[in-house]
């Protein structure tokens, strides 16, 4: 070994040191290269978190407007079984609005969401699909939530309609609309809707506009109402439901022949305070009363129209009425049950129909039916 020159061992250790230093520098360089990617990932996660939280906050604001805290107070003290829940968390009401999983795209705009929401509920069968499609399309521009009660079980064959995926579909074989309404339109579920339209499927709406209709209803204070029937309708049972061509709306009818006479002094249905069961429209308060009036074993609803005046939120002769300027055509097509219909009654027959039976006799008949 020559003095003054490094040994082989020291050369190896020096190379090892240089190599470690080079590796450390490379790791440091690669770490710096990764930092922009990590920063980008963190930024994306923060944006996603912010967007999700913001959507949830806006949705909470909407729901708080729908169900304010003072609205829930009335039911908080009712049930002792709820005492274990924290104060203020109880939510006693719901709605029939579809909620999106992530995006706000399918939510209604916030301005529309807060006001003027109404509900259209119809019992439907596949044979009336075309008519129901035309009917629903009249209501969609007016901010209506649509509920279809499928009594024939054929729900899957409705998906080809453009509005079907945005509607609520409920299926139960061979059930009537009153059965569906009692079970699925509880007042606490429909409390955000200003008006509930509980209509049959065989109504023609060529001369009907829901927005103009509701404007009239609100302006004259009708809690329970229905559109007048066109004189060409094939099912007319009471003269009061016939359209008057000279009026915007009416609350009573005048009959001067037969056993049942209707005049200015009449105060009972069907002279006044009366709408028929095929197309009733209820205010929120009137529906709360009507839902409780519907008996759990009610099927066809015969006689219900005679009793709806009890839910008029006051004087039935003032708060129940027929809107003439927005009218419908009752086609009288029976598909539920498929039984052979009786001879159809037109406007010419209705005077005789009304005079044949008065409200007292009708009530006695209904009482006999229920006490069988």
Q: What is the pLDDT along the chain (372 residues), one digit of tens a residue?
A: 555 555 555 555 655 655 555 555 554 555 556 677 777 888 888 887 777 777 666 665 555 555 554 444 444 445 778 777 887 777 777 888 887 776 554 445 444 455 568 999 999 999 999 999 999 999 999 989 999 999 999 999 999 999 999 999 999 999 999 999 999 999 999 999 999 999 999 999 999 999 999 999 999 999 999 999 999 998 788 999 999 999 999 999 999 887 778 999 999 999 999 999 999 999 999 999 999 999 988 888 878 899 999 999 999 999 999 999 999 999 988 777 654 444 545 554 544 343 334 444 444 444 444 444
DSSP state of 272: B
**Distances 357 to 242, 267, 273, 353, 364 between C-alpha atoms, Å:** 18, 16, 17, 7, 11
Query: Does residue 138 fall inside a structural domain?
Result: yes
Cα–Cα distance measured from residue 170 to residue 153, given in angstroms and rounded to the nearest whole number: 9
Contact 291, 183 (CB under 8 A): no
Query: Does residue 222 fall inside a structural domain?
Result: yes
In this prediction, residue 11 carries a pLDDT of 56
- Selection from 136, 114, 112 nearest residue 124 by Cα: 136
Contact 300, 257 (CB under 8 A): no
In this prediction, residue 362 carries a pLDDT of 45
Query: Does residue 320 fall inside a structural domain?
Result: yes
DSSP for 31-98, please give it. Answer: HHHHHHHHHHHHHHHHHHHHHHHHHHHHHHHHHHHHS-HHHHHHHHTT-GGGTTSPTT----------
Cα–Cα distance measured from residue 310 to residue 291, given in angstroms and rounded to the nearest whole number: 12
Query: Does residue 274 fall inside a structural domain?
Result: yes
- Selection from 227, 224, 255 nearest residue 317 by Cα: 224
Structure tokens at 22: 């080079």
In this prediction, residue 22 carries a pLDDT of 57
Write down the H helix ranges in the chain.
8-66, 69-76, 110-114, 129-139, 177-184, 210-220, 284-293, 304-307, 316-319, 350-356, 359-370
Query: Does residue 106 fall inside a structural domain?
Result: no
In the block, tokens 């690669």 appear at 30
**pTM of whole model > 0.85?**
no
Number of domains in the chain: 1
Count Cβ atoms within 10 A of the Cβ of residue 182 and give its class: 0-12 exposed, 13-18 middle, 19 or more buried: middle
Strand pairing class (118-124; 224-229): unpaired
Domain that holds residue 289: 114-330
Query: Does residue 38 fall inside a structural domain?
Result: no
Query: Does residue 49 fall inside a structural domain?
Result: no
In this prediction, residue 65 carries a pLDDT of 56
Query: Does residue 221 fall inside a structural domain?
Result: yes
Write down the H helix ranges in 140-267.
177-184, 210-220
Q: Residue 306 maps to which CATH number?
A: 3.90.550.10
Cα–Cα distance measured from residue 313 to residue 310, given in angstroms and rounded to the nearest whole number: 8
Cα–Cα distance measured from residue 104 to residue 206, given in angstroms and rounded to the nearest whole number: 34
- Selection from 207, 184, 164, 174 nearest residue 325 by Cα: 207
Instruction: Tell me the β-bridge partners of 240.
Output: none
Cα–Cα distance measured from residue 63 to residue 107, given in angstroms and rounded to the nearest whole number: 13
How would you classify residue 153: left for phi > 0, otherwise alpha for psi between -120 and 50, otherwise beta? left
Strand pairing class (203-204; 320-330): antiparallel
């Amino acid at each position: 070994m020559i003095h003054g020159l490094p040994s082989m061992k020291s050369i190896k250790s020096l190379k090892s040191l240089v190599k470690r230093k080079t590796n450390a520098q490379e790791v440091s360089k690669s770490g710096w290269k990764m930092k922009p990617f990590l920063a980008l990932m963190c930024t994306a996660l923060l944006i996603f978190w912010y967007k999700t939280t913001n959507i949830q906050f806006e949705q909470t604001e909407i729901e708080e407007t729908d169900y304010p805290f003072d609205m829930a107070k009335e039911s908080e003290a009712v049930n002792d079984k709820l005492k274990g829940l924290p104060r203020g968390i109880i939510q006693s009401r719901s709605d029939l609005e579809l909620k999106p999983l992530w995006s706000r795209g399918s939510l209604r705009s916030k301005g529309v969401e807060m006001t003027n929401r109404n509900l259209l509920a119809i019992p439907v069968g596949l044979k009336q699909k075309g008519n129901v499609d035309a009917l629903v399309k009249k209501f969609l521009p007016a901010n209506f939530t649509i509920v279809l009660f499928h009594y024939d079980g054929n729900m899957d064959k409705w998906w080809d309609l453009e509005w079907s995926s945005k509607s609520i579909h409920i299926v139960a074989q061979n059930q009537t609309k009153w059965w569906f309404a009692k079970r699925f339109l509880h007042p606490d579920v429909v409390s955000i809707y200003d008006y509930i339209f509980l209509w049959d499927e065989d109504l023609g709406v060529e001369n009907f506009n829901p927005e103009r209709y509701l404007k009239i209803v609100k302006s004259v204070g009708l809690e329970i109402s229905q559109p007048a029937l066109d004189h060409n309708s094939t099912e007319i049972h009471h003269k009061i439901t016939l359209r008057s061509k000279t009026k915007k709306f009416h609350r009573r009818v005048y009959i001067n022949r037969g056993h049942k006479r209707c005049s200015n002094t009449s105060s009972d249905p069907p002279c006044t305070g009366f709408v028929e069961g095929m197309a009733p429209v209820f205010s929120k308060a009137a529906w709360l009363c009507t839902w409780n009036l519907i008996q759990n074993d009610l099927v066809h609803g015969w006689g219900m129209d005679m009793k709806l005046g009890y839910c008029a939120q006051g004087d039935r002769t003032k708060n129940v009425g027929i809107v003439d300027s927005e009218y419908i055509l009752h086609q009288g097509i029976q598909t539920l049950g498929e039984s052979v219909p009786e001879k159809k009654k037109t406007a010419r027959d209705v005077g005789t129909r009304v005079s044949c039976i008065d409200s007292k006799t009708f009530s006695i008949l209904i009482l006999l039916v229920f006490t069988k």
